[in-house]
Amino acid sequence: MNMIKALPLCALTVLSCSPAVAQDSSLLPSFYGRLNITAVHNQPKDQGSDSEFVSNASRIGLEGSLPVSEGLKVIYQAEYQVNPDNRPFGNRTLTQRNTYLGLEGGFGKLLLGRNDSPTKQLQNRIDLFNDLDGDIRTLVVGENRPNDVAHYISPEIGGFVFSYAALLDGKNGLRERLSKSTSASLTYTQGSFYGGVSADNNLNDNDVLRFVTQYRMGDLQLGALYERSENSKNTRGTEHGVFFSAAYTMDKYVFKGQSGMSEQRRDGGRQTSFGVDYNLTDDSKVFGLMTLTRSDNHAIDNDQVGVGFEYRF
C-alpha cells in the first residue's frame, strides 16, 4: 500500500484507540455524506433515446482534528464515492475521493494524500451543475484530484490565499518532484467579489492556465472562467475554454444556468445547462435540469432532461 494513501487510515486507527479521544467525544471524527440521485432521459442525435437512474458522486466520509499543541492540530479526512450502479468505476462500489492527513496552524495547512488540485478548487462552485452531465469537467482539463500530493494552503492575508500542490510519486528525488508536476493558485476575496488565477505544470501531461471571477449582487450570482491548456502528448498546440454561469435565489427556489465551449475535451465542444432547485430544508432539495451537449462529432451530441433529489448529512 502506498505510504501517503495509507496515512489517513493510520491516523484514524491511532485516534480511535487513543484514551484521550475515548474520553472526549469532541475529538472523535465526524461522519458525513451526500446522496444525489437523478432520473434522466437522454436523446442522442444519432441514436435511440434512453432513460436511467444515475448516482451523481454520492459519497460518505470521516473528518476531524486532534490538537497537538497551542495553535497546532492534526487534521484528517477520508472520503469515498458510493457507486451503486458500478458502471463508471470498473465494478468498484467505493472509489476514493479527497483523503488526506495534515497539519493546521498559524502557517496555514499542509496536507498529504489525495486532494483536489488548486486549479480544480479555484472554480469555487462557479460550476452550478457539478457532478452532473453538465459538469465543467466535460469541457476543460484542469479538473484533477491527484494521488500522492503534498498540498500547502496559506492563511488568508488581506483577502489573498495562496495554494500549492506537488505530486510526490516516488519516481524522482524529493527536490525534483516538488517542481516537476505541480498546481498552484492565488485567490482574492473582498466582500461579494472573488477572483483568482492558477497554473498546472505537467499535471496529467497538461500545462494549464486558469482565470476565474465571481460576483454576488444580493440574490444574484455571476461567474466566469477562462482556461488555456497544452498537452505534452499531442500536437494540437494551445487549446482554450470559456465558461459562464448565473444563479438567482428566490425564497426556496434557485434558478440557474451555465454555458461553455472548449476544444480541450473534444473538437467544437459546447454545452449549455438550465435548472431549478427547490430547497426542502437546509440539507435537502429536489431539482430539475436540462443539458444540451454539442460538438463537431455529432455522434456524441445529446439532449438530457431530468429530475433529482439531494440529501446531505
Cβ neighbors of 44 (< 8 A, separation 6 or more) are 299, 300, 301, 302
What pLDDT, on the 0 to 100 scale, is given for residue 13?
57
In this structure, which amino acid lies at residue 134?
G
Residue 229, phi-psi category: left (phi > 0), alpha (psi -120 to 50), beta (remainder):
beta
- CATH C-level class of 3-312: mainly beta
Residue 66, phi-psi category: left (phi > 0), alpha (psi -120 to 50), beta (remainder):
beta
pLDDT digits (tens, 9 = 90+) for 168-183: 876 667 777 777 899 9
What pLDDT, on the 0 to 100 scale, is given for residue 1?
46
Cβ neighbors of 37 (< 8 A, separation 6 or more) are 53, 54, 55, 56, 58, 308, 309, 310
What pLDDT, on the 0 to 100 scale, is given for residue 92?
65
For residue 228, report the phi and psi dihedrals to the nearest 5 degrees.
Answer: -120, 135
* 8 Å CB contact between 245 and 256: yes
pLDDT digits (tens, 9 = 90+) for 201-222: 999 999 999 999 999 999 999 9
Q: What is the pLDDT along the chain (313 residues), one digit of tens a residue?
A: 454 555 555 555 555 555 555 556 677 899 999 999 999 999 998 788 999 999 999 999 999 999 999 999 999 999 999 976 555 555 567 889 999 999 999 999 999 999 999 999 999 889 999 999 999 999 999 999 999 999 999 999 999 999 999 998 766 677 777 778 999 999 999 999 999 999 999 999 999 999 999 999 999 999 999 999 999 888 788 999 999 999 999 999 999 999 999 999 999 999 999 999 999 999 999 999 999 999 998 888 999 999 999 999 9
